[in-house]
Amino acid sequence: MQLLWNGLTDAISLLLNRDPLVLDAAWRSLWISATAVSFAALLGIASGSLLARRKIFARSLLVVLLRAGMGLPTVLIGLVGYSLLSRRGPLGGLELLYSPWAIVLGEICLAVPIIGTWTHSAIRGLDPRAAETALTLGAGKLRRWRTYLSETRLSILLALLTAFARCISELGIAIMVGGNIPYRTQTLTTATATETARGELARGVAMSLILLTIALLVTLSIAWLSRGKEPQ
């Protein structure tokens, strides 16, 4: 207990003194996760709304696969990403392995099923009168699609926050395709694991505190947004 307490006080001191390793990992984690969720939002919202509104071939199977994707272990995504991006892999020529962009790609794969599934469920669950109202008032395909997204915007925003929380707290992808290189690909989670293993408990606790703060902020945002989610 004393060890953890000492770690906590040292961690606060590190944060107050703006430890470069801690701040670097925190900043990288934030931009990698934000970038991944931004790209995943485009793919997830498009695929989710397409599956919700269009009768396409094997739609039920695709929905099941999308839902199954929410439970993908991050190490599995990391493993597949490593196989694809390694020098002998099909995408080896891009030379992305052990770069932050490799982590971004992996986290996109993690976030798309979350955003896609939530978008699909939200639009499928929309009152049928919403679609009929837009149709009967003469809205074209694009305007109807925008209307569906507008009517379900709260659910989609919650999906984005959930995907962001999942991305920033994942470890498997960042280690396997990022390589955990300090000041280059190290994120909060990989740095926490490394520093703790090296006996630098204070740094580990400092980074965990940042992660905890981000997780709390996301959770509070989700709770606050969900509060206003009332059926019409």
Tokens 């696969």, residue? 65
What CA dihedral angle connects 115, 121, 123 and 126, to 10 degrees?
-140
Q: Which is nearer to other proteins, 38 or 133 (CB)?
A: 133
Stretch that binds other proteins, among 15-23, 148-156, 158-166, 181-189 (CB under 8 A): 148-156
Strand segments (E) across the chain: none
Determine the size of the site formed for other proteins (CB under 8 A): 19
User: What minimum distance in Å lies between the beta carbon of 203 and other proteins?
Assistant: 46
User: What minimum distance in Å lies between the beta carbon of 229 and other proteins?
Assistant: 11
Those residues with Cβ within 8 angstroms of residue 104's Cβ, 6 or more apart along the chain or in another chain: 32, 35, 36, 39
Fill in the amino acid letter for 102.
A
Q: Which is nearer to other proteins, 50 or 139 (CB)?
A: 139
Q: Footprint of other proteins on residues 149-168 (CB under 8 A)? A: 150-151, 153
Select from 89, 132, 109 the least CA-distant residue to 40. Answer: 109
- Give the other-Cβ count within 10 Å of 203's Cβ: 23
Fill in the amino acid letter for 160.
L
Stretch that binds other proteins, among 33-41, 113-121, 127-135, 168-176 (CB under 8 A): 127-135
Fill in the amino acid letter for 27.
W
Fill in the amino acid letter for 101.
W
Contact 206, 18 (CB under 8 A): no
Q: Footprint of other proteins on residues 128-147 (CB under 8 A)? A: 129-130, 132-140, 143, 147
User: What minimum distance in Å lies between the beta carbon of 150 and other proteins?
Assistant: 6
Tell me the C-alpha distance between 36 and 230, whole Å.
30
User: Per rule CB under 8 A, is residue 226 in the interface with other proteins?
Assistant: no
User: What minimum distance in Å lies between the beta carbon of 49 and other proteins?
Assistant: 17
Q: Which is nearer to other proteins, 143 or 184 (CB)?
A: 143
User: What minimum distance in Å lies between the beta carbon of 227 and other proteins?
Assistant: 14
- In the complex, which residues of this chain contact other proteins (CB under 8 A)? 127, 129-130, 132-140, 143, 147, 150-151, 153, 230, 232
